[in-house]
Structure 1
Amino acid sequence: MSIVENNIQEKRVDLARALHEVRVFAPATVANMICGFDILGFAVDKPGDEVYMERVAEPGVRIRSIKGDDGRLPLDADRNTVSACVKMLLSDLGLADQLGVEIELTKHMPIGSGLGSSSASTVAGLFAINALLGEPLSREELMPYCVEGERLACGHGHADNVAPALLGGITLIKGYSPLDIQKLPVPEELVAGIVFPQVDVPTRDARQLIKEKVALKDAVVQWGNIAGLIAGLYEKDYDLIGRSMQDVLIEPTRAILIPEFYEMKRIAMEAGALAFGISGSGPSVVAISRGAEAAQQAVDRIQAHLTAHGIDSLQFVSAVNGDGPRVLAKS
């Protein structure tokens, strides 16, 4: 049975016109946007993952190789989210017994970084198979398969990473029944300075720390911050954006898992960032800034502080990626 509500089995794919090979890039993402737990996220230009997909004679989906994962990801096509989601899509299209593809996955981003590593890979794979088939599905029709990939990866089918990775820009998850995703305006000077402290904070562990119940007064503050952020995006009001990106519900708990978090926050704000918080479940942190110069200054100072405390880290500075995944080569 199809996992999507609209019946894609009605789609007609002419395999005679399908491509032989395709290479796709899909971007990393910053989920939550500090105050919007599980409902907001945006894509960045770098880092990201690449998928190379090639048609082969033998039907089925196989993982040929994975690079950049230090051997942590499964080559089993039923357990790897990239191949598993491609298999689901081909099954729903009625092509599982007709088409053979082999996949090479290249990770250009750290696993467990809080930057949507699994979602970037899944999106790249689904975007690649759709391109290989001549794009029979819209991005919106691909979305439920991306969400299913997140369910396979971490046990929770949320869309705050896969939505911006697939659609690009800033996205709002209005609801899941049915899946309702809205794209939000992107002020052109908004830049993310990301630092990944190389410490281990598993997504499942970070989620388990979250309280099931919160005080009404805190919820009211958080609702106001989310509304203020969205208003700021529409108005291109950078001051309002900065004032609104404050998290009183999730950050106080998750920050415990991230060494030097509050010192990094102080450094970022003193460097001119509009706001500072956790990217996804961490340990990556993000300094939201107006312009690349302020973002670069914030991450440079944060990295210097981490180095002084014996913590290795990576940094990325990027504007919001408005395009999402892209085809790098095809034939």
Structure 2
Amino acid sequence: MKKESIKVFAPATVANVVCGFDILGFAVNEPGDELWMETSDKPGVRILSINGDEGKLSLDPQKNTVSASVISLLKHLGREDVGFELKLTKKMPMGSGLGSSSASAVAGLFAANELLGKPLTKLELLPFAMEGEALACGHGHADNVAPALFGGFTLIKSYEPLEVIALPVPKLFCALLYPHVDVPTRDARQIIRSKVLLKDAVTQWGNIAGLVSSLYTHDYDLLGRCLKDVIVEPIRSILIPEFDHMKTYAMENGALGFGISGSGPTVFSLYRSPDDAQKVITNLQKMLADKGVKSNIYLSEINETGPVVL
């Protein structure tokens, strides 16, 4: 049997998008994960190496999102006779709120599906990506894996049944700043209020609806007015150093909106101009450095393709 190999890239993602807790997300071109996968005569999935994870990720195929989702896929297809060997390169920080586990799961599924001759559509791959996400953080939400898989902006309309809507992508530049502080996803979820005031819920619904509308109409002013969260951000932001100061500076210097990426600690801001985005993110990094907090910064347009073959 002739061996076949493939190398793919899967993008990082921004989940929630300020007001869209657990239902909105978008993909970015940078950072992301790279995966090399090769067919094998020996059935099963084996991880040969992982780079860029500082030794934190398990090489056990059942315990790693990149392989566990592929194992589930092969079982579903009745192709447990197939063998894959893979090498994962993490080119994004883990536990950052950038969908690190989602990118790995999507990379594995996309690569395996390509090598198998594309038996499933991206929509059909989504539940397997959600399984990988559940393994990593305890919740099988799609607000990271859906945009990582489809690219662009996605709306999770419902989970039962699973319904994902691709939204239009206006020309936007996203600046990301990852402060080197620890905000575990599970902990960030636990501090969220279990009850919400009706007036806050009404405000949030209006912002979500307005945000979706602004993507269809490319109305940047409306988009900026809707990137507000009165429910989750006020609580989660206390876990992120200098959040309020960073937000104020960004909004005063060209940002359409500023918020927490996923559960944090990464923060993101959206701009019409790449020059504004670069200037703001550089100054925010300096602001944190002056407080003794190191950080990584990234600047990217919205990724409209999802995973790609390299």
Query: Is the TM-score greater than 0.5?
Result: yes
The answer to whether the 8 A contact 1:85-1:126 is kept is: yes
Alpha carbons 2:152, 2:306 under 8 Å: kept = yes
Q: Does 1:47 align with 2:31?
A: yes
Superposition pairs of residues 200-219 of structure 1, within 5 angstroms: 200-219=182-201
Paired with 1:184 and 1:258, the residues of 2 have a C-alpha distance of 29
Matched, 1:172 2:155: yes
CA distance in 2, matches of 1:242, 1:298: 16
Q: Per-residue CA shift, 1:47-96, capped at 9, x if unaligned? A: 00011111112111111111000011111111111111100111111111
Matched with 1:285 is: 267
Question: What corresponds to 2:101 in structure 1?
Answer: 118
- The answer to whether structure 1 residue 295 and structure 2 residue 288 are counterparts is no
Please, which of 227, 232, 240 is the counterpart of residue 222 of structure 2? Answer: 240
Say which of 255, 262, 266 aligns to 1:273. 255
1:150 partnered with 2:100: no
Q: For 1:120-176, what per-residue CA distance to the aligned partner results, in whole angstroms no more than 9, with x for missing partners?
A: 000000000001111111101101101111111111110000000000000000000
State yes or no: 1:36 paired with 2:20. Answer: yes
1:57 aligns with 2:41: yes
Identical aligned residues as a percent: 61
Matched, 1:73 2:49: no
The aligned counterpart of 1:324 is: 306
Q: Which amino acid aligns with 2:29?
A: D
Structure 1 outlier segments of 4+, above 3 Å: none
Distance in structure 2 (CA, Å) of the matches to 1:168 and 1:185: 11
**Using the alignment, how far apart are the partners of 1:320 and 1:177 within structure 2?**
28
SS in structure 2 at match of 1:192:
strand
Write the distance in 1 (CA, Å) between the matches of 2:194 and 2:303. Answer: 33
Q: Indicate yes or no: 2:109 matched with 1:131.
A: no
Q: In structure 2, what is the equivalent of residue 84 of structure 1?
A: 68
Number of residue pairs matched?
310
SS of the aligned residue for 2:213 comes to: helix
In structure 2, the residue matched to 1:93 is: 77
1:307 equivalent in structure 2:
289
Q: Note if 1:161 corresponds to 2:138.
A: no
Match of 1:183? 166
Gaps of 5+ in 1: 1-15
Deviations 1:202-237 (A, max 9, x none): 111001111111000000000010011111111100
Instruction: Output the CA distance in 1 between the equivalents of 2:105 and 2:3.
Output: 20
Which structure 2 segments of 5+ residues have no match? none
- Matched residues in 2 for 1:41 and 1:82: separation? 20
For 1:295 and 1:249, locate their aligned partners in 2 and report how far apart those are by CA, in whole Å.
Answer: 26
Where 1:25 maps in the other structure, the secondary structure is: strand
TM-score of the superposition, structure 2-length normalised? Answer: 0.98
Amino acid aligned to 1:277: G
Give the superposed CA RMSD. 1.0
Is 1:226–1:244's contact at 8 Å kept on the other side of the alignment?
yes
TM-aligned CA deviation for residue 19 of structure 1: 6.4
Q: CA–CA distance in 1 between the matches of 2:33 and 2:226?
A: 31
1:220 aligns with 2:202: yes
Q: Secondary structure at the match of 1:200?
A: coil
Contact 2:3 2:40 survives alignment (8 Å): no
Q: What is the alpha-carbon distance in structure 1 between the residues aligned to residue 49 and residue 129 of structure 2?
A: 21
Aligned-partner residue type, residue 152 of structure 1? L
Say which SS state the counterpart of residue 41 (structure 1) adopts. Answer: strand
CA-to-partner distance for each residue in 1:86-128, whole Å, 9 max, x for gaps? Answer: 00111111111x2111111100000000000000000000000
How far apart, in 2, do the equivalents of 1:32 and 1:249 lie?
A: 12
Aligned to 1:145, the other structure's residue is in SS state helix
Aligned counterparts of 1:169 and 1:273: Cα–Cα separation in 2: 19
Contact (CA 8 Å) 1:19, 1:134: kept in 2 or not? no
Distance 1:149 1:101 in 2: 17
CA distance in structure 1 between the aligned counterparts of 2:11 and 2:178, rounded to whole angstroms: 16
* Closer/same/farther in 2, CA of residues 260 and 297 from structure 1, 3 Å limit: same
CA distance in 2, matches of 1:293, 1:32: 25
- Contact kept, 8 Å, 2:134 with 2:141, in 1: the verdict is yes
Tell me the residue number matched to 1:231.
Answer: 213
Asked if 2 retains the 8 angstrom alpha-carbon contact of 1:19 and 1:133, the reply is: no
CA distance in 1 between counterparts of 2:169 and 2:37 reads 32
Question: Within 2, Cα distance between the matches of 1:222 and 1:108?
Answer: 34
